[in-house]
Amino acid sequence: MRAWYAGASTIQTNIAPQDTGRFLPQVKPGWAYNASLGVAAPILLDGAKRDRAVWPGDMGLSGITAFLVFGEYGLTAFGNAIETLFYYQNTTTGRFPFAGPDTASFRSGSTSDTYHAWSLISIYEYAIYTGNETWLSERWENITRGVDFVLAALDNTVSLHNQTAPNDWGRQGGGEYNSALNALDYHALVSLSSLASAWSDTISGRTRAQTWALAAARLKSSYNSHLWDAPANLYHDNTTTSLHPQDGNALALAFNLTTSTAQASVLSTALIQNWNAIGPVTPELPDTISPFISGIEVLGHFAAGQPVRALDLVRRTWGYLLDSPLMTGSTLAEGITANGSLYYRSTAGYNYDASYTSLSHGWSSGPTIALSFKVAGLEIIGWREWVFKPQTGGLRSAKAGFRAPFGEFRVQWVVRGKEDGDMIFEATIVTPEGTRGRLGMPGECENVLVDGKAVAATVEGGGIRVVKATGCR
């Protein structure tokens, strides 16, 4: 699909050499790209033209895309951006910076609770894609300090994070027990807890894993009792507002803040209310379609087991982003207005300047991730751990692959017969030695064989596996 390659082209233009950041105050007219971007390069940035800087929220998606499309080279750029965050991590509080050193946000000392959580999520992603134990042990103290910052914020009677630094991706409002922030914290804690228990064999590592998992469980329970609006089938932005944000709800769905498949299903359906002909108009930033938050929504619909809806959204928004004569045809814009214009954030910081909007922004590459990890369906989900759980969404075949430093992953599948009846699903997957994974079929199948034998709960990695499922619906 074109959307996959557009994500790849976008990331390619978002990886830059060392001293090519935007010089501030911005030269007018024009641009000067001579500022230092971080501690090393090549380095992964938010956008090709602007800001040309390290931004942790963006990296939560663009780091995954960089790995999927460029393998070890993408990981190098992702890693150098993460090292920049470590370098500027606050030694007293453990807080990561809001953005890289060549931004106004960095210079003013602005902080962001959501981008701190995105930093931890990016670190987790980088750790499981590289599988680099040396790096992880060298960085472990930095990582635990970062998690401690979140634990301290959750240490209250409600076990939710009161958002006091609401700087974010450009949205308005925020504050108090914000649903996006708490979904991000939850994902950071659950992920890093699984990493701590899988990777560390020390007592302190295991204790940490338990502490983090417990904080995550309390958060999830409170999240649902304080933020779920049952009549609306959506989460509130916080406990004092009637706003149902796209970001908090998409993140809650993608990161499993829901407590049942039924709840995930109604939440996925409720999100459609925001959609116009070209995509979801965000309640938390009026007159805006955000391909960043909508990319997370795409992943959310897959998490809810709604691949047809997810692909509808991809075609709707990314079809527009690729076909509109306002765009490049090959890279993905940072954001658009509800009518598709480039007057993104006109009244919210960009001063009615359509030329200020980035036309190549890696945070808009969610569909590349979704097509590889959710549709083709082979995904790294933990330390040396993967899952194969394809979701066809009406497609009849798919093929994908990516290369981690610890080995190659490849997948190819075809569907025969009717989708709703006696469907036959055949797949070949290649995974590295020393890994393990689980298999899930697209839908309910009567009979599943792996290499001709009944499927086991866990499958050892290494070599080629042939999966054949029959009687699927």
Ligand X SMILES: *[C@@H]1O[C@H](CO)[C@@H](O)[C@H](O)[C@H]1NC(C)=O
Where do the H-state alpha helices sit in 255-290? 261-270
User: Which range, of 116-124, 206-214, 315-323, 335-343, touches ligand X by CB under 6 A?
Assistant: 335-343
Q: Name, in order, each residue with C-beta under 8 angstroms of 366's C-beta and a sequence gap of 6 or more.
A: 7, 61, 291, 292, 294, 295, 296, 298, 299
Cis peptide before 291 (omega within 30 of 0): no
Footprint (CB under 6 A) of ligand X, residues 298-317: none
How many residues belong to the site for ligand X (CB under 6 A)? 40
Q: Indicate the residue among 172 and 328 with the shorter CB distance to ligand X.
A: 172
* Residue 432 preceded by cis peptide, ω within 30: no
Please state the closest distance from residue 34 (CB atom) to ligand X, in A: 4
Place of tokens 């330390």: 383
Closer to ligand X by CB, 203 or 352: give it. Answer: 352
Q: Which is nearer to ligand X, 406 or 471 (CB)?
A: 406
- Which x/- pattern over 362-391 shows residues binding ligand X (rule: CB under 6 A)? ------------------------------
Minimum Å gap between C-beta 220 and ligand X is 7
CB 161 within 8 A of CB 154: yes
- 142 contributes a contact to ligand X by CB under 6 A: yes
Which of the ranges 99-107, 237-245, 368-376, 421-429 carries the binding residues for ligand X, by CB under 6 A?
Answer: 237-245
Q: Which of 18, 110, 330, 341 binds ligand X (CB under 6 A)?
A: 341
The reply on whether position 138 binds ligand X by CB under 6 A is: yes
17 binds ligand X (CB under 6 A): no
**HEC sequence for 244-255:** CCHHHHHHHHHC
Write out the DSSP string of 26-85.
PPSSS--EEE--SSSSSEE-SBSSS--S--HHHHHHHHHHHHHHHHHHHHHHHHHHHHHH
Strand partners, 133: none
Would you count residue 18 as binding ligand X (CB under 6 A)?
no
Amino acid at 449: L
Residue 151 class from Cβ within 10 Å (0-12 exposed, 13-18 middle, 19+ buried)? Answer: middle
Of 366, 362, 387, the C-alpha closest to 376 is: 387
Among 7, 21, 56, 94, binds ligand X (CB under 6 A): 94
d(CA 387, CA 400): 14
Q: Whole-number minimum distance, CB 419 to ligand X, in Å?
A: 23
**Sole binder of ligand X in the list 93, 324, 330, 412 (CB under 6 A):** 93
Chosen residue from 2, 24, 167, 175 binding ligand X by CB under 6 A: 175
Task: Give the β-pairing of 21-22 and 33-35.
Answer: antiparallel
Q: Which is nearer to ligand X, 86 or 115 (CB)?
A: 86
Cα–Cα distances in angstroms (integers) from residue 408 to residues 303, 405, 427, in the given order: 25, 8, 16
Residue closer to ligand X (CB basis): 145 or 208 = 145
The yes or no reply on residue 31 touching ligand X (CB under 6 A) is no
Write out the residues near ligand X by the rule CB under 6 A. 23, 27, 32, 34, 86-87, 89-94, 109, 132, 134-135, 138, 141-142, 145, 162, 164, 173-176, 237-238, 240-241, 243, 256, 259, 287, 337, 339, 341, 343, 346, 405
